[in-house]
């Protein structure tokens, strides 16, 4: 009997400690929930702000509204019958017209796996005027000092970048018309103006970033009309503003 009693006590101790811990965690989770959401939102806003021109104001989607479903024009085929959503962040001019979009894209073909990139696009009037404004590597696990150089100076303003594409990888995607880009990654000695200059000793990482940007660029080019219509007709946004401030 005493053996069974001690077993019950032992189990009870785990259950009570588990229950108290769960209650404590629920409290901490509730306290930090808002701050975590705000930190993630600020992180996204900062990254989007970097890839769109300074005169464009970023408007992040309502977090609560974001979920599994998305409008038809943002649907993405993930293969094997699965579908997902493109993450697109629009930016508007002061008069409410759409001036740029940032598209989150990725490639699993990095040297150490997935590389996530945010690509900014301007010149949304037509596929001919479509231009890459800038890219920003959001996440990667590439080798420090080699593949990680894809992020070199990406947080600095382009005025500090100079013009050496061998040094600053972001220059390959800075203010480039899509019609002038091949997205082919080549060594500096072989690359033409339309090609992407590979980071020395990190061709795989360079290619992964280039592929990720190319996928996003092709999607934007093919769906430009529906993106422009879907992301808020600029007139509607402008009209909405006028209603608020007559």
Partner 1 sequence: MSGISEITRGLWKENPVFRLLLGMCPTLATTTSCNFAVGMGLSALFVLVASNVAVAALRNVIPGKTRLPCFIVLIATFVTIVDLVLNAYVHNIHKALGIFIPLIVVNCIILGRAEAFASKRPVWDSFLDGLGMGLGFTFGLVCLATVREVLGNGTWFGFPVTPEGYQILVFVLPPGAFISLGFLIGAMNGIENWRKAHG
Contact 147, 204 (CB under 8 A): yes
Burial grade of 114 (CB within 10 A; 0-12, 13-18, 19 or more): middle
Site track 132-161 with partner 1 (rule: CB under 8 A), x = hit:
-----------xxxx---------------
* Size of interface with partner 1, in residues (CB under 8 A): 25
For residue 127, the minimal CB distance to partner 1 (Å) is 36
Spell out, one character per residue from 43 to 82, where the chain touches partner 1: x when CB under 8 A holds, - when not.
x---------------------------------------
Q: Is residue 118 classed exposed, middle or buried when 0-12, 13-18 and 19+ CB atoms within 10 A define those classes?
A: buried
C-alpha Rg value of the chain to the nearest Å: 23
Instruction: Report residue 134: phi and psi, to 5°.
Output: 180, 160
Q: Would you say how long the chain is, in residues?
A: 246
Among residues 4, 14, 71, 84, which is the contact residue for partner 1, using CB under 8 A? 14
Nearest approach, Cβ of 78 to partner 1 (angstroms)? Answer: 24
Q: Is 7 an interacting residue with respect to partner 1 (CB under 8 A)? A: yes
Judged by CB under 8 A, the residue of 2, 9, 69, 245 near partner 1 is 9
Residue 240 binds to partner 1 (criterion: CB under 8 A): no
- The nearest distance, CB 195 to partner 1, in angstroms, is 26
Q: Is 5 helix (H, G, I), strand (E, B) or coil?
A: helix
**Residues 6+ positions from 113 with CB-CB distance below 8 Å:** 141
Footprint of partner 1 (CB under 8 A): 6-7, 9-11, 13-14, 17-18, 21, 24-25, 28-29, 32, 35-36, 39-40, 42-43, 143-146
């Amino acid at each position: 009997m005493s053996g069974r009693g001690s077993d019950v006590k032992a189990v009870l101790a785990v259950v009570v400690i588990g229950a108290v811990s769960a209650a404590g965690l629920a409290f901490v989770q509730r306290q930090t929930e808002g701050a975590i959401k705000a930190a993630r939102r600020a992180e996204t806003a900062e990254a989007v702000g970097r890839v769109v021109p300074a005169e464009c104001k970023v408007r992040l989607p309502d977090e609560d509204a974001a979920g599994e479903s998305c409008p038809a024009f943002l649907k993405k085929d993930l293969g094997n019958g699965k579908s997902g959503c493109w993450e697109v962040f629009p930016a508007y001019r002061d008069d409410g017209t759409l001036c740029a979009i940032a598209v989150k894209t990725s490639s699993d073909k990095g040297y150490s796996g997935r590389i996530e990139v945010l690509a900014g696009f301007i010149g949304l009037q037509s596929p001919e005027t479509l231009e890459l404004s800038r890219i920003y590597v959001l996440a990667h696990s590439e080798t420090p000092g080699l593949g990680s150089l894809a992020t070199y100076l990406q947080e600095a303003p382009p005025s500090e970048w100079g013009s050496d594409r061998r040094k600053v990888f972001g220059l390959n995607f800075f203010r480039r018309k899509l019609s002038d880009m091949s997205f082919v990654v080549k060594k500096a000695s072989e690359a033409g103006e339309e090609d992407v200059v590979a980071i020395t000793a990190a061709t795989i990482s360079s290619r992964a970033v280039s592929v990720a940007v190319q996928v996003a660029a092709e999607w934007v080019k093919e769906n430009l009309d529906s993106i422009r219509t879907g992301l808020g007709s600029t007139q509607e946004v402008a009209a909405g503003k006028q209603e608020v401030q007559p």
